[in-house]
Amino acid sequence: GSNDIIPAIGQIFPHVSFVARNSPADKAGLKVKDHVLSINGINLPTADRIIEELDKIPKGGTARVEIQRKGENKELLMTPRD
């Protein structure tokens, strides 16, 4: 669930400060210091919004997570835990 990543406030968008090993975020390729730009196309200017959007993903669903890593935008696919 949403407790597997801990977003921290970055300069523009929240950045990831921790990724739990073998969590959905880890399996999707999310890394510490990635800036989370959007989930399923919804811009996420705050850490609270990241948690809200991840909690909306239905059981067995997949989230499209757009991140920025070292200045490059990437899209990851994350399947939250049941």
In angstroms, the CA 14 to CA 22 distance is 22
What predicted TM-score, i.e. pTM, was given to this entire model? 0.77
What per-residue confidence (pLDDT) applies to 10?
45
Q: How far is CA 62 from CA 6, 9, 55, in A?
A: 19, 24, 12
In angstroms, the CA 55 to CA 75 distance is 19
What per-residue confidence (pLDDT) applies to 43?
85
What per-residue confidence (pLDDT) applies to 62?
93
> Average pLDDT for consecutive 10-residue bins of the chain (82 residues)?
52 79 91 91 80 84 92 92 69
For the CA atoms of the chain, what is the radius of gyration? Answer: 11
Residue showing tokens 């993903």: 57
